[in-house]
């Protein structure tokens, strides 16, 4: 590998690292919705160069987690009730379709994979490691849909999942959220899916998503 290729590899790695870190901070609320994202401040925070930060922010605009301000830099995408309701409506419609397709094509391999990723998610939840749990949680939800044999549909579902994470964290900030038994909700979804009951599985999944909205105690319109 020559010097130029080595430099390009390091720059790409730095951009990827900045992207992953900034994405996590936006999703979990460490960088608040609507917050101005200053290159110099983020560069210092991440201990990296300005170029990787700028490139990472550009990538995050494609994810709709960052907005580019005309001649004024970037900001974390705002959170508001209308945005949440649009995400919720699309998730319910598209995942209902994908889940029903998955169940219609059910086989032993898919069912075994569902049970496995569900177990991993429960184990990750008991370890109090947020990044590990988030990865396992997404793996479970995407596994439910993975047997649909519809790559474009699954891609959209994955994007909507990511956009919804911020609202889940906002909901979890409320004290009443502790009363919610998320584990039981996941168990209900898994049980219905493995039994091949598409109506019950879809109902449980959609209810699981709608409950998040009921716990949104933060006045989103003011964010």
Closest CA to 172 of 137, 147, 123, 198: 137
Mean pLDDT of 163-172: 88
Is the pLDDT higher at 82 or at 187?
187
Closest CA to 62 of 127, 194, 159: 159
Closest CA to 205 of 194, 193, 214: 193
Fold classification of 81-222 (topology level): 1.20.120
Percentage of the chain lying above the pLDDT 70 cut: 92
Other CB atoms within a 10 A radius of the CB of residue 2 amount to 7
CB 209 within 8 A of CB 89: no
| Predicted confidence (pLDDT) at residue 222 exceeds the cutoff of 50 | no
Other CB atoms within a 10 A radius of the CB of residue 223 amount to 15
> For the chain, what are the domain ranges?
3-76, 81-222
C-alpha dist (Å) from residue 125 to 67, 129, 134, 210? 32, 7, 9, 21
d(CA 209, CA 46): 33
What integer pLDDT is reported at residue 140 of this predicted model? 98
Q: Exposed, middle or buried, 45 (CB in 10 Å: 0-12/13-18/19+)? A: middle
Closest CA to 99 of 174, 15, 199, 218: 199
What is the per-residue burial (b if ≥16 Cβ within 10 Å, else e) of 182-204? eeebbebbbebbbeeebeebbeb
The per-residue pLDDT for range 86-120, each reduced to its tens digit, is 999 999 999 999 999 999 999 999 999 999 999 99
Residue 147: HSE in the Cβ half-sphere, 13 Å Cα cutoff: 22
What integer pLDDT is reported at residue 217 of this predicted model? 54
Closest CA to 121 of 65, 189, 23, 195: 189
Residue 127's pLDDT band (cuts 50, 70, 90): confident
pTM for the model stands at: 0.84
CATH 1.20.80.30 holds for 3-76: no
Residue 84's pLDDT band (cuts 50, 70, 90): very high
d(CA 163, CA 148): 22
Other CB atoms within a 10 A radius of the CB of residue 98 amount to 24
């Amino acid at each position: 590998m020559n010097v130029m290729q080595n430099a390009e590899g390091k720059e790409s790695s730095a951009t990827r690292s900045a992207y992953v870190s900034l994405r996590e901070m936006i999703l979990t609320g460490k960088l608040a919705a609507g917050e101005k994202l200053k290159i110099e401040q983020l560069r210092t925070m991440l201990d990296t160069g300005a170029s990787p930060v700028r490139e990472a922010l550009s990538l995050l605009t494609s994810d709709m987690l960052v907005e580019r301000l005309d001649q004024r830099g970037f900001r974390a995408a705002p959170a508001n009730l209308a945005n949440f309701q649009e995400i919720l409506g699309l998730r319910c419609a598209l995942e209902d379709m994908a889940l029903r397709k998955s169940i219609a094509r059910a086989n032993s391999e898919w069912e075994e994979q569902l049970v496995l990723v569900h177990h991993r998610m429960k184990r990750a939840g008991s370890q109090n490691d947020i990044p590990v749990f988030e990865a396992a949680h997404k793996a479970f939800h995407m596994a439910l849909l993975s047997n649909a044999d519809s790559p474009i549909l699954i891609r959209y579902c994955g994007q909507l999942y990511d956009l919804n994470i911020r609202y889940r964290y906002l909901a979890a900030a409320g004290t009443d959220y502790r009363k919610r038994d998320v584990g039981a909700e996941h168990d209900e979804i898994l049980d219905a899916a493995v039994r091949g009951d598409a109506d019950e599985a879809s109902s449980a999944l959609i209810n699981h998503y709608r409950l998040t909205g009921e716990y949104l105690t933060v006045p989103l319109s003011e964010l």
